[in-house]
């Protein structure tokens, strides 16, 4: 996780010990591993770029320059999908480095992730109740845009402040929002909301030896909670969850 301190990406061991993972890394707002073992990032310094970092050397490969990246996800096939909040769009980089617009017309696209079987792309709209769903075409492009997941908000707001997202292997979607981690079923309904101790939440990720621990970045702190589910990594081999039970 990028904890936003200095120019290092830090890691948290199973025993809770924090250490430097990559020294001299740029300030990032999104970090995801790819199938090639590299760590992909949205940089937020003077130059806003999408880059890939070698592990553990930190050597940087530029993928896209002059963009406004917020968050990203890398598929098992090597497609990089990233949100550009200011432009209201999703941008795609394929395995050959070709860049194209994937989707437009979202107020403030922020968090982004893939379904466990990687047939769908999910994009959170920071300024609404909605998480959008797209069908991924054979060439990596996006189709069948729809508002699918409806998130809860406080009575005084119309914004969910939806940020980072993850999925588990059973197809549930986990969304970092102003109200906490909203856990959605495959049918698009919020099953529960997990509050954070300090009320601040920007991103979440599965970790631990069995990928059954949910980590949450909350300001300058990282919290964790053991769950009875197994997280799904986008770079890993896709798996098909069982059909949703309505």
Q: What is the pLDDT of residues 111-159, one digit of tens each?
A: 999 999 999 999 999 999 999 999 999 999 999 999 999 999 988 888 9
Burial class from Cβ neighbours inside 10 Å (0-12, 13-18, 19+) for residue 71 reads buried
Tell whether the model's pLDDT for residue 6 goes beyond 50: no
The helix/strand count (H/E) of the chain reads as: 0, 21
Tens-digit pLDDT profile for residues 191-242: 999 998 888 899 999 999 899 999 999 988 899 999 999 999 999 999 999 8
- Say how many C-beta atoms besides its own lie within 10 A of residue 160's C-beta: 27
DSSP 158-195: S------EEEBTTS-EEEEETTEEEEE-TTS-EEEEE-
Establish if 244 belongs to a structural domain.
no
Confidence of residue 19 (pLDDT cuts 50, 70, 90): confident
Q: Rounded distance, CA 146 to CA 133, Å?
A: 5
The residues with which 42 forms a beta bridge, in sequence order, are 30, 50
For the chain, the maximum distance between any two Cα atoms, rounded to a whole number of angstroms, is: 48
Tell me what pLDDT residue 7 has: 66
Residue 200 in domain: yes
Q: Is there a domain that residue 50 lies in?
A: yes
Is the pLDDT confidence value at 5 over 70?
no
Within-domain flag for 112: yes
What are the pLDDT digits (tens) for 56-97? 888 899 999 999 999 999 999 999 999 999 999 999 999 888
Domain CATH code at residue 172: 2.120.10.30
In a domain, 237, yes or no: no
Range of the domain at 96: 8-226
pLDDT at 246: 62
Query: 3 pLDDT exceeds 60?
Result: no
**pTM (predicted TM-score):** 0.93
Query: Please, what's the b/e burial string for 7-27 (b: 16 or more CB within 10 A of its CB; e: otherwise)?
Result: ebbbebeeeeeeeebbeebbb
Measured CA to CA, the distance from residue 140 to residue 2 in angstroms comes to 28
Judged by DSSP in three states, 124 sits in strand
In a domain, 2, yes or no: no
Tens of pLDDT, residue by residue over 155-181, are: 888 899 999 999 999 999 999 999 999
Q: Which of 185, 204, 182, 176 lies closest to 244, judged by CA?
A: 185
The number of distinct structural domains making up the chain is 1
Q: Report which DSSP code applies to 164.
A: -
Q: Identify whether 232 is part of a domain.
A: no
Q: Is residue 234 part of a domain?
A: no
The pLDDT score that the predictor gives to residue 56 is: 83
DSSP code of 133?
Answer: E
Tokens of 15: 């025993």
User: Do 72 and 81 contact (CB within 8 A), yes or no?
Assistant: yes
Q: What is the 3-state secondary structure (H, E, C) of 9-59?
A: EEEECCCCCEEEEEECCCCEEEEEECCCCCEEEEECCCCCCEEEECCCCCC
């Amino acid at each position: 996780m990028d904890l936003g301190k200095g120019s290092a990406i830090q890691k948290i061991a199973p025993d809770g010990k924090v250490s430097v993972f990559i020294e001299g890394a740029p300030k990032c707002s999104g970090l995801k591993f790819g199938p090639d073992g590299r760590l992909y990032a949205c940089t937020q310094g003077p130059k806003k770029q999408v880059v890939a970092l070698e592990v553990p050397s930190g050597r940087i490969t530029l993928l896209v320059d002059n963009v406004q990246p917020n968050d990203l996800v890398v598929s098992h096939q090597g497609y990089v999908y990233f949100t550009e909040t200011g432009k209201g769009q999703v941008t795609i980089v394929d395995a050959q480095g070709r860049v194209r617009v994937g989707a437009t017309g979202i107020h403030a696209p922020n968090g982004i992730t893939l379904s466990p079987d990687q047939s769908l792309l999910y994009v959170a709209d920071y300024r609404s109740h909605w998480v959008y769903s797209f069908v991924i075409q054979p060439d990596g492009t996006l189709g069948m845009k729809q508002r699918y997941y409806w998130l809860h908000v406080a009575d005084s707001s119309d914004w969910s402040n939806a940020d980072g997202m993850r999925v588990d292997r059973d197809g549930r979607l986990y969304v970092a929002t102003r109200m906490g981690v909203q856990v959605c079923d495959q049918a698009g309904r919020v099953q529960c909301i997990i509050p954070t101790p300090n009320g601040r939440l920007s991103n979440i990720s599965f970790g631990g030896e069995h990928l059954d621990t949910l980590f949450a970045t909350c300001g300058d702190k990282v919290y964790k909670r053991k769950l009875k589910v197994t997280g799904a990594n986008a770079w890993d081999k896709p798996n098909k969850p069982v059909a949703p039970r309505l």
